[in-house]
Structures are given as C-alpha cells and as structure tokens.
A and B are shown apart, each in its own frame.
Chain A
Amino acid sequence: MSPPSAGRRRTPRDEMAEATAHGGLYLRRLVRAQLTLSLLALVAFAGILGSLPLLLFLAPALRHVSVLGLPLPIFLVGFPLFPLFVGLGLIYQRRADALDEAFRDLVGR
C-alpha cells in the first residue's frame, strides 16, 4: 500500500467505511480469494470422494482382495476417508485464516 502521506492518513479501511468504490474492490478481492480457495479444496475433496465409487464400480476385482478376512472395498470406504477429510480441513483452515490475516494487514494500516 502507498505510504501514509503527510497530514491526513487515509487507510483502505476508511475507504471501505465510507463505502467508496475502492473499498468495495478490496472486499470483492477478498471474497474472490476465499471462494477460489474453497473451490480448490472442494475440487480436491470431490475428486477423491467422487472417484472412489467409480473405482469400485469399474474394478470389481478389488472385491476378491481380502484384508483381515474382509473384502478390500469395505476398508477403502470405511477408514481412509475420515483422516483425509481432517487433513483437507486443516490445510483449508490455515490458508483461509492466512487470507483473512493478509486482508487485515492490507486494510488496517
């Protein structure tokens, strides 16, 4: 951001407060960045979750692979997805908080 000029100091926050076109732009940029992040995470999430039924449908041979006496597909659906959701959620949470923080830095000073 431009350094504070001598005399009156206007921050982007003031511009938002006065609902200027500039202020609106800052917010729109933040919303777009957050939405992009969420959509990226959604694509990763839907890609993994969505390909699993297709994989099991297209590769019926997996059914005859036995783990601990049970067919492998039961384990593929029943276990690994849960930690994966947590991992994705954690990554998303860090990034989203960072975007908020960057906005705060940009606008608040």
Chain B
Amino acid sequence: MTVALIAVSVVTIGTLGLGTWAVRFARTTSDLFVASRAITPWWNAAAVSGEYLSAASFLGIAGLAMKMGMDAIWLSVGFAAGYLTLLLFVAAPLRRFGSFTISDFVEARLGSPRMRLLAAAIVLGIAGFYLVPQLKGAGITLGEVTGAPYWVGVVVVGVIVAVNVGLGGMRGITYVQAVQFWIKTFAIALPACLLLIYLGGLPHRAALFGADVPRAPAHGLVVKLDSSKTVTFQRATDYRIDGVPRHARAGEKVTLPPGRLVLPAGAAVPLGSGAEKGPGVVWARPVGHGGRDGPLFVYSLLIATVLGTMGLPHILVRFYTNPDGPAARRTTVRVLGLLGIFYLFPTAYGLLGRVLAPGLYVTGETDSVVLRLPHLAWPGAPGNLLSALTAAGAFAAFLSTASGLLVSIAGTLSYDVWGRVTGTAHSTHGRRLRFRVCAVAGMVIPVLIALAASGLDIGVLVGWAFALAASSFCPMFLLGIWWPRLSARGAASGMIAGATVASVGIFAGLIAGENVGGALGALLSQPAVVSVPIAFLTMIGVSLLDSANQLDAAPAMLALHAPEGLGLEQLAEKPAPAEPAPV
C-alpha cells in the first residue's frame, strides 16, 4: 500500500502547504476576509461543502449501511436536507446580521453577555462530539494504509491538525476548502463508478446480497483478529482459529480469541456486535418494522440532521464570505446541489461491502469499508490505486473538518472562556498565544475520547453531534431570527433543557447498549424527536412568562431582515463586529 501512503501524504502536505501559503499572503484577518468577499457563490458553495463533508460522510455512512442495513442511507438524505432548512430560515438573516460565531449571535440578539458562556459550553460539546469521529476515521485510515495500530493515526492526525491550526494555517481559506470538496467527491465517485463497471454493473452484483446472510467467498475467508471478539454465528459453521478446528451451532454466541480465523468457502460469516442479523431482504430495507430501524428512529434521525446542520459552529463561519443576504441564499442552493452529487455514492460502498468485504462483519470495523472495498473487489494494481484514492479522500475529509472544528473550539476557548474569565477578551496582547495554547488544549480531550471510542461507529457519533445541535442552537436560531419575543432567559432555559435531554438520552443509550429494544431503544440511540420539541416548547414558554424582561428586539429584527441597499443597515444598532479568530 505504498501508493496509498504517497496519496495520503500528498493530500496532507498539499492541504497544509497551500493553507500556510495563502495565509502568508493575507497578513491580517480583515485582509483575509475582505479579499474573500469577492468570491462567487459557486466557490463559496464548494467551500461550505468541503468543510462539511467529514469522516462521517466519507466513511461513516457506508460503514453504517453495511453494518446495520440500508436505514443508514437516511443519513445521506438528512445531511443534505439540513441545508434546505438552513436556506429557508437562517442563511440570509444571519448574513445580514453579521454575527458568524454562535456566541456573537447569542450576545447580540439577546443582549446578554452572560449567555455567551452557555453558548460556548454547547459549542464545545458539539464540536468535541464531532471531532472524535474525525479522529477515529484518521486512526482506521492510517491503519489501513500503513498497518499501524489505531492509536497512531489518532495521535498523528490530532497533532498535525492542532499544530496547523495553532500556526494559523488552513483558516478562512475558501479556495482550499473548495478544492477539498472536489478531491473528496472525485475520490468517492470514481472508485464507485469503476468498481460497478468492473464488477459487471449493478444487477449482476446486487443479486449477490440477495435474500441471504453474508457468506465467505469461493476461496474461503481469512480474518485476522487483533483482540478477542464476541460474534454470533448465523448458521452452524465449521471454522478454524490459528489452525485449530472448531464448530459453532446456528445462533451461537462465541467469543473468538485473537488469532487467524479461517472460514471455508460459502460459510455464513459470524456477525460482530451491532450488525443487522437478518438476511439480505431485511438488511436492504430503509425502514424496518420497529426498534432501531423503525419509523420512529428514522424520523428522529431526520429531525436531528435536518435541524442540526444550522447549529454546527464550523459551518456558520463560512457564510461570512457571502457579500449579502441574497448571495448567502444563492450559495446555499448551490451547496444543496453539490452535496446531492456527493451523497449518491456512499450507498454503493455499503451495498458492495456486504458482498465483497464480509470479513469486516467479524471485526465490526465496517467503518473501513470504503478504504478496503476497492482492493478486495478488484485485486491487483487497479484496486490498490483506487484504495489509495479513497484513502486520500478520507484524509482530505477529516483534515478539513477537524481543522474547522478545532478553529471553533480554540476560538471559543480562548475568547469566550479564557478571555472572559480573566477579563482580557478584548486585549490583543497575548491573544495569539492564547489561541495557540487553546488549539493544542482543545485537541487533547477529543483525542483521548477517540482512543477510548474505537468500537463506536463514526456515523453514530456524528448523529449525536447533530442531535445536540438540533436540540440547542436550532431552536435558538429559528426563534431568535423570526420571533421578536424570544428572551435571553427563554433561550437559555430551552438550550439547557434540549441539550440535557439529548445528552442524557445519548449516554443512557451508550450504557444500556443493545439491550434496550423497541421504541425506547430507538429514542436512546437518537433522542432528537423528543429533545427538539422540548427545547422549542421551553424556549417559547419561558419567553412568554418572562415578558417583563423583554428586550426591544426591533433593532435586531431590522438588522436581520432589512434588505441591503436601503441604507437601513447602518440604522440598526449593529452588534460589535464579529471577532474573527486571530491569525
């Protein structure tokens, strides 16, 4: 896999180099931002999409689809649809308002500096949740490419991103992010198309997963187990571990010791935890009968993704480079188109993976199906080249997303937490140093969690980040932009209520694991359908009771909604200009 290593290195060095080079040319933040405001909606849209497409989109959807079945393709739909709600309710007003960090918006709209700290805490939670799966993606990708243990990839990429962000590279660089989008789309689309053609097209290949459980290919299946795994045998199976013959009854749960597992040709592949146990027909349905792939789960997932996108801190910052409200709308429509292209492809990997990479079911590492599928499906040089391409695309995915997230984390930590607590937020002295320290510190906890979370699926982790965003910032933005009566106290109570319910659900689900089935199991694995309405109702209710403390929202409404070109912008009491992260 030397080719893959070279491809990954080229993407990494290219991205970091280009970012650093571009920052040199834009000496100060304002230069950087002013220069970038001449960017066309197409470039902006590619940049937003580039920042958005993370390890979850690139690796996670396919992995989850392979493991749990086709209900995972709702993730593709929801990830794209999130931009439609962003377009309808947030894009233009937020651009006009001129606040691009969530904390700035909260303070300016609700007139309460204290709210910043709460917003900062939730930003850290969401960005942290989102950063962990990026690092997990890095761990498995570097493992696939070099054979290094999981922790090496996590630590190496964590250090690269932290140092790069700390040094000021890859920030606000629209062109780099836009190019990243096309790298990722090319890297996922080309192998998918070529593989389908090589394998004889879809009908021929698709017939394979058919009605059956995953089975070992004609030449048998060898799986190397690094640690002991608990698996369920679907059928009575004879197998060997390190050459010792063994037998399992149908439905038997066995803990396999580390070693070389050998399955004879055509044997049903034992499934690790979390995998859909049913045959192909059950696996292939996007909506199941109930429980973890039932309608309740699907709706909850859709609510989380459709409403969560507007609460992602690293995405909103990107809208600054639109010159005005209508341009923000145009950009968002183009984002929908670009993401629509990308999200056609992860499904193909999930479908082919069930047939061609069944070994991943034993280890449970279906997250690496995109990386491994090409060279399993197409042995020899072409497959290796395509695997190198998907590995490079995966690296592009988590480098860009992780950098964007870490910028948000470091900015929030250094400005809202450190700066506010010590009362030095506005002094420029030491600001750069503070930002650097926070960039490094902000990476430590996500790295530690990623090391512990190697068993969790990327798609699941990101689903939680979306649930948290949908239950806290989404109601705050929707009501803050469109409802003048939202009060600071209402927003605070709603965000706390929503975030608490979502987090409790997530952690309870994590502890209870697969033991809870049915509706409760669905809610614990994706709590948004409960937590989002709770957040909305709390915000509205408390705001109505709080009418004595109403702030005059008229200036904010003017700033949010008055079209440009009337000179009304200057009349509205503008919030303090957004504090862009210092370079």
- Least CB separation from A16: chain B residue: B568
Contact indicator A82/B285 (Cβ below 8 Å): no
Contact indicator B343/A82 (Cβ below 8 Å): yes
Contact indicator A108/B340 (Cβ below 8 Å): no
| Residue B84 lies at the interface, judged by CB distance under 8 Å to chain A | yes
Contact check: which of B74, B341, B482 meets A77 at CB < 8 Å? B74
Q: How many residues of B contact A (CB 8 A)?
A: 59
- Least CB separation from B561: chain A residue: A31
CA distance A19 to B203 in the complex (A): 66
Contact indicator B299/A53 (Cβ below 8 Å): yes
Q: Given A24-B554, A31-B482, A107-B566: A85 and B73 within 8 A (CB)?
A: no
Q: How far is the CB of B384 from chain A (nearest CB, A)?
A: 27
| Residue B85 lies at the interface, judged by CB distance under 8 Å to chain A | yes
Contact indicator B81/A103 (Cβ below 8 Å): no
Q: Which of A37-94 contact B (CB under 8 A)?
A: 38, 41-42, 45, 49-50, 53-54, 56-57, 60, 63, 68-71, 73-74, 76-79, 81-83, 85-86, 88-90, 92-93
CA distance A42 to B84 in the complex (A): 9
CA distance A71 to B285 in the complex (A): 8
Q: How many residues of A contact B (CB 8 A)?
A: 50
CA distance A70 to B283 in the complex (A): 12
Contact indicator B571/A69 (Cβ below 8 Å): no
Contact indicator B81/A100 (Cβ below 8 Å): no
Which 7 residue pairs of A and B lie closest in terms of their CB atoms, listed nearest first? A82-B340, A69-B206, A69-B203, A100-B563, A89-B333, A38-B88, A56-B287
Q: Which residues of A contact B (CB under 8 A)?
A: 13, 16-17, 19, 24, 27, 30-31, 34-35, 38, 41-42, 45, 49-50, 53-54, 56-57, 60, 63, 68-71, 73-74, 76-79, 81-83, 85-86, 88-90, 92-93, 96-97, 100-101, 103-104, 107-108
A-B contact pairs, 9 of them (CB 8 A): A16-B568, A27-B561, A31-B557, A50-B299, A68-B206, A69-B202, A89-B336, A100-B325, A107-B566
Q: Which residues of B contact A (CB under 8 A)?
A: 70, 73-74, 76-77, 80-81, 83-85, 87-89, 92, 201-207, 281, 284-287, 294-295, 298-299, 302, 306, 325-326, 329-330, 332-333, 336-337, 339-341, 343-344, 347, 351, 482, 554, 557-558, 561-563, 565-568, 571
Known: A53-B295, A70-B284, A90-B333. 11 other contacts (CB 8 A): A16-B571, A42-B88, A53-B287, A53-B298, A70-B206, A70-B351, A73-B287, A74-B70, A85-B80, A85-B340, A104-B566
